Amino acid sequence: MLAYARFRLDDGSSHVLTPGDIIGRLDSAALHIDDVRISEAHAMVSLRGRELKLLALRGVFAIDSQPVKEVVLRAGMRFQPARGLHVEVEEVVLPDAVMALEGQGLARQVLSGANSLYTRPRPMVDSRYRLDAEAWIHSVGKGWRLTVSGQKARPLQVGESFEVSGVRFSTTALPLDRAASPSTMSEDRLLQPLVIVARFDTAHIRQGGELKLALDGIGARIVSELVAFDGPVAWYVIAGEIWKDQDNRTLLRRRWDIALARLRRKFRGAHVRANLVRSGGKGMVELMLNDGDRIDDQT
């Protein structure tokens, strides 16, 4: 119950990427490529409808020597993220349904191959392994395992409920087409007005009376800073407010790219429209609000 693509590099190493995973030069990228020609966040795997696509982010890639911005991933295809560097798609798996998690204060979220679960200050899922988490969920072949801090790992089934620090969660099977990127959802659903509650340390996004996403930490700060600025602002201004201890522009940009990629991944997992936080071509960033969207500024 996990959608993924398996990539093989020229050195023979094999890497499994799930929707939202990044290919890039960053150490934290799911597929890390140590090459100066590769951007920090070069490309991303995205689930669109019943297809896995590779989308260019801050870089481009080529197929048959032709540069492209996106491509449907197929087993056996090869692409070049840089001249002379080849990546082969070994396998593409698209199950009928994927595993999702929901709970008290946590909107339904599709799980990746490795997930870290927190309950404080608000329930949230980080789609990667984090040592400081309160519990972890990871895929094992066709199954899943749950490890609660201080306990042994055990199998986790669809439809099962469990508790972490007194907060109850449950798993569900989500049909693949409903787990896809918001861009593949119905237009009516996408255009339903959002209510964005910003409190700096937390931010909540609601739609149709339902809590879609509860943000904490850096993601909440990004949304809240954009609410407070009330208009387009340079990325480094917001980044400087969040990471006041960092005055190196290159390192600041790296932190910003990682944080923004994680935030958008959470948007996709909660089926919040992807362009809610929009980056312009001149380094400006803003909240892209539709008619009817409402801001509750509690900053």
More confident residue, 136 or 280: 136
Q: Give residue 288's pLDDT.
A: 87
Helix axes 217-229, 235-242, angle to 10 degrees: 130
Counted residue by residue, the chain has a size of 299
Give tens-digit pLDDT for 180-222: 544 333 334 445 789 999 998 899 998 877 788 999 999 999 9
- Amino acid, res. 130: R
Give tens-digit pLDDT for 69-95: 889 999 999 999 999 999 999 999 998
Is residue 114 predicted with pLDDT exceeding 90?
no
Q: Find, among 51, 33, 178, the residue nearest to 43 by Cα.
A: 33
Whole-angstrom distance, CA of residue 91 vs CA of residue 161: 32
Cβ pair 185, 47 in contact under 8 A: no
- Amino acid, res. 141: G
Given the DSSP bridges, would you call strands 106-110 and 97-103 parallel, antiparallel or unpaired? antiparallel
Calculate the average pLDDT of the chain: 87
The one-character DSSP state at 122 is S
Give this prediction's pTM. 0.55
Topology match between the domains 4-93 and 97-178: yes
Q: Where are the domains of the chain?
A: 4-93, 97-178, 182-297
Give the other-Cβ count within 10 Å of 147's Cβ: 16
Written out in words, the top-level CATH class of the domain with range 182-297 is: mainly alpha
CA distances from residue 142 to 4, 158, 170 in whole angstroms, order as listed: 12, 12, 18
CATH classification for the domain delimited by 97-178, as one of 3.50.50.60, 2.60.120.10, 2.30.40.10, 2.60.200.20: 2.60.200.20
Whole-angstrom distance, CA of residue 195 vs CA of residue 203: 10
Q: What is the DSSP string of 147-198?
A: EETTS--EEE-TT-EEEETTEEEEEEEEEHHHHS-GGGS-HHHHTSPEEEEE
Give tens-digit pLDDT for 222-242: 999 999 998 899 999 999 999
- Amino acid, res. 181: S
Give the other-Cβ count within 10 Å of 213's Cβ: 26
Q: What is the mean pLDDT of residues 165-182?
A: 81
Per-residue confidence band for 281, with pLDDT thresholds at 50, 70 and 90: low
142 in the Ramachandran plot: left (φ > 0), alpha (ψ -120 to 50) or beta? alpha
CA distances from residue 117 to 98, 113, 168 in whole angstroms, order as listed: 18, 13, 12
Q: Give the helix, strand, coil percentages of the chain, each rounded to 5.
A: 20, 45, 40
- Decide yes or no: CATH 2.60.120.10 for domain 4-93: no
